[in-house]
C-alpha cells in the first residue's frame, strides 16, 4: 500500500528540513487522535502548544512529526508549523486529479457533505475523500486536504466561517470544481451587521473556483440573487436548486412515504426520481444540492439516488434512536450539535410530521445571535405551535423570552442546564412519544441525549 506521505515529500511540500526518514499513512494535530503510522503536526496556538504533546503522539504510534523545536523523534523542522500545515494541504491539493466539491452554508453543510460523500463513494469506493467531523476552519480545512490520498477520484470539503474573509482564504486552499451554498440563516449574526452580510461572506466560497467551475445556489433563498452576483465573476456555470419554478435542479413532485420521501426532480440534462431516507423538507433541498453536485462532476446519478435512500442521521444532526422504557420505547431525535432559528424551525417541522402519541421538544438556547437574540428565541413559539408540541423543556437563560411567549399554551418547563432538563423529564416520557433534542453546542445537550438513549436519569455537566 502506497504511503500517504514520505518524509522527503513532506519536507519538499513545507520547505522544511528532514531529520530521519519515515512514511506516514495519516495526519493529525491532536495527539489524542494520533494512530500508528500518522504524521503529527505540532501546532502552536493561543490555548496550548502542540510541542508539549510530541512524546505523547509518538507514544500513540506517530511515524513522524512537523515541529519548530528540537525533537528526539523523526521529524520535519520548520519555522512555523501552522504555515507548514497550510503548505501540506496546498501540496496535497496540487498533486491530485480528483474532482473537488466545496460545501458551505449556515445550516446543513455537514449533512450535505456526508450525503455527497455517500453518493460519490458508492461508485468510487475507497477513492472518495471528505473532511471528517466538522473540520471546517483555518486548521481543519488544510488538515483535511493533507489527509487526501493522491489517487482520490473525488474530494468533498466542508468550509465554515464566523467572520468575513475567512471563506475567501479557505476556498483558495480547496480550489473546488464545484462550490455549494446550502442555505443562509442568521447563524453567527453576532459578528455581522446583517443577514445580507452573512450571505456575502458565504458567497466568498466562489472565489476559489477552478476555471470551468460550477456554483450551486439555493433558488428559494431570499438571498439567491446576492449569491448569484457573488458567483458570477468566478463561476463558468451557475446552477440553482430548490422547489421554485425557475430552479435549474427542481423537485417537481414530492411524496412522503413510510420508507422515506420520494422526489421527482428535473435537472439541466434530464430527470431523476429518487428516495431520501431522512425526513424533513430541508432534506429535499439538501438532496437536490447533492444531485446537482454529482451531475456537475459527471458522477453516477442513479447510484447517488440509491445512496440518498440509505442515508441515516448523524449524531447530533438528526440521528434517531430509542429511549428504553418499562412499557416500551420512545423515539429520540438527536439534533443536539447546533442550532439557529432556521434549523430550529426545520427540526420542529420534522417533529410535527412524526406520528407519535405525544411530541416533546427539548430546546437549548441558540448562540451568537447578537442584539436580536431575544427576538429570535421568542419567535420559536410559532414553529412550536405549528409542530403540535405537547411538552417543551427549554434549556438556558436565553430561553426565558420563549417561555414567556408560550405562556400556558402547552406543558412547559424552563431549566438552567442539561442536568436539570433530564431531571424534569424523569417519569414524563411515555412509550410512543417522540422526543426532539436540539440546541447550540455550548448548552451541552449531547450529554442529555446520551443519558436518554442509555436509560440513565442523570447526566454530568
The neighbour count for residue 123, using CB atoms within 10 Å, is 19
Task: Please report, for the chain, how many H helices and E strands are present, in that order.
Answer: 16, 22
CA distance readout (Å), 27 to 40, 60, 61, 372: 6, 13, 12, 41
Give the DSSP letter of residue 29: S
**Strand, helix or coil for residue 279:** coil
How far apart CA 53 and CA 451 sit, in angstroms, is 32
Q: For residue 52, say whether it is annotated as part of any ligand binding site.
A: no
Residue ranges of alpha helices (H) inside 265-327 are 281-296, 301-309
Q: Please state, in angstroms and as integers, the Cα–Cα distance from residue 372 to each residue in 194, 347, 364, 375, 401, following that order.
A: 11, 21, 17, 5, 12
User: Does the annotation list 107 as a binding residue?
Assistant: yes
Q: Which three cell numbers stand for residue 387?
A: 409542530
C-alpha to C-alpha distance for 132 and 89, rounded to whole angstroms: 15
106 is in an annotated binding site: yes
Ordered strands of the 26-28 beta sheet: 17-19, 75-77, 64-67, 38-41, 26-28
Q: Is 294 annotated as a binding residue?
A: no
Give Rg (Cα) of the chain: 23
Whole-number Å distance between alpha carbons of 198 and 195: 5
Alpha-carbon distance 383 to 344, whole Å? 8
**C-alpha span between 385 and 373 (Å, rounded):** 20
Q: Rounded to an integer, what distance in angstroms lies between the CA atom of residue 31 and that of residue 55?
A: 9
Helix-helix angle 445-454:418-425, to 10 degrees: 30
Residue matched to cell numbers 474530494: 155
Nearest 5°: the CA angle 382, 160, 336 is 45
What residues contact 129, with CB distance under 8 A and at least 6 apart? 98, 147, 148, 149, 152, 154, 155, 156
Q: Is 68 annotated as a binding residue?
A: no
**216 contacts 320 by C-beta, under 8 angstroms:** no
Q: Give the residue ranges of the annotated binding site.
A: 105-111
Annotated binding site for ATP: 105-111
Amino acid at each position: 500500500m502506497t504511503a500517504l506521505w514520505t518524509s522527503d515529500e513532506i519536507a519538499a511540500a513545507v520547505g522544511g528540513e528532514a531529520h530521519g526518514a519515515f512514511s506516514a499513512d495519516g495526519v493529525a494535530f491532536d495527539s489524542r487522535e494520533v494512530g500508528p503510522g500518522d504524521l503529527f503536526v505540532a501546532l502552536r496556538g493561543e490555548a496550548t502548544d502542540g510541542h508539549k504533546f510530541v512524546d505523547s503522539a509518538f507514544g500513540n504510534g506517530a511515524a513522524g512529526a512537523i515541529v519548530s523545536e528540537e525533537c528526539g523523534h523523526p521529524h520535519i523542522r520548520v519555522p512555523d508549523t501552522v504555515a507548514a500545515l497550510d503548505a501540506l494541504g496546498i501540496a496535497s491539493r496540487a498533486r491530485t486529479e480528483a474532482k473537488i466539491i466545496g460545501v458551505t452554508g449556515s445550516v446543513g453543510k455537514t449533512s450535505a457533505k456526508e450525503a455527497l460523500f455517500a453518493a460519490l463513494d458508492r461508485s468510487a469506493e475507497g477513492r472518495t475523500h471528505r473532511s471528517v467531523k466538522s473540520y471546517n476552519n483555518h486548521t481543519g480545512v488544510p488538515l483535511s486536504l493533507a489527509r487526501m490520498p493522491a489517487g482520490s477520484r473525488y474530494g468533498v470539503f466542508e468550509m465554515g466561517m464566523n467572520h468575513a474573509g475567512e471563506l475567501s482564504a479557505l476556498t483558495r486552499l480547496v480550489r473546488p470544481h464545484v462550490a455549494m451554498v446550502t442555505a443562509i440563516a442568521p447563524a453567527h449574526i453576532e459578528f455581522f451587521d446583517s443577514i445580507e452580510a452573512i450571505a456575502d461572506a458565504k458567497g466568498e466560497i466562489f472565489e476559489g473556483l477552478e476555471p470551468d467551475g460550477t456554483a450551486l445556489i439555493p433558488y428559494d433563498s431570499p438571498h439567491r440573487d446576492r449569491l448569484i452576483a457573488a458567483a458570477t465573476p468566478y463561476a463558468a456555470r451557475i446552477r440553482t436548486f430548490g422547489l421554485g419554478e425557475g430552479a435549474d435542479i427542481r423537485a417537481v413532485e414530492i411524496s412522503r412515504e413510510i420508507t422515506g420521501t420520494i422526489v421527482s426532480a428535473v435537472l439541466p440534462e434530464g430527470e431523476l426520481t429518487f428516495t431520501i431516507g431522512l425526513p424533513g423538507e430541508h432534506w429535499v433541498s439538501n438532496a437536490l444540492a447533492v444531485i446537482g453536485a454529482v451531475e456537475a462532476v459527471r458522477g453516477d446519478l442513479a447510484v447517488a439516488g440509491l445512496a440518498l435512500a440509505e442515508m441515516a442521521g448523524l449524531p447530533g444532526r438528526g440521528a434517531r434512536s430509542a429511549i428504553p422504557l418499562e412499557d416500551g420505547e420512545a423515539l429520540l431525535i438527536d439534533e443536539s450539535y447546533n442550532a439557529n432559528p432556521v434549523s430550529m424551525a426545520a427540526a420542529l417541522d420534522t417533529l410535527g410530521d412524526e406520528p407519535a402519541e405525544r411530541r416533546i421538544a427539548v430546546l437549548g438556547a441558540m448562540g451568537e445571535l447578537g442584539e436580536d437574540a431575544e427576538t429570535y428565541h421568542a419567535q420559536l413559539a410559532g414553529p412550536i405551535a405549528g409542530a403540535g408540541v405537547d411538552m417543551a423543556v427549554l434549556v438556558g437563560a436565553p430561553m426565558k423570552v420563549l417561555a414567556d411567549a408560550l405562556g400556558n399554551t402547552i406543558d412547559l418547563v424552563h431549566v438552567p442546564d442539561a442536568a436539570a432538563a433530564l431531571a424534569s423529564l424523569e417519569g414524563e416520557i411515555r412509550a410512543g412519544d417522540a422526543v426532539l433534542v436540539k440546541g447550540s453546542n455550548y448548552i451541552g445537550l449531547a450529554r442529555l441525549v446520551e443519558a436518554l438513549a442509555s436509560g440513565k436519569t442523570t447526566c454530568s455537566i
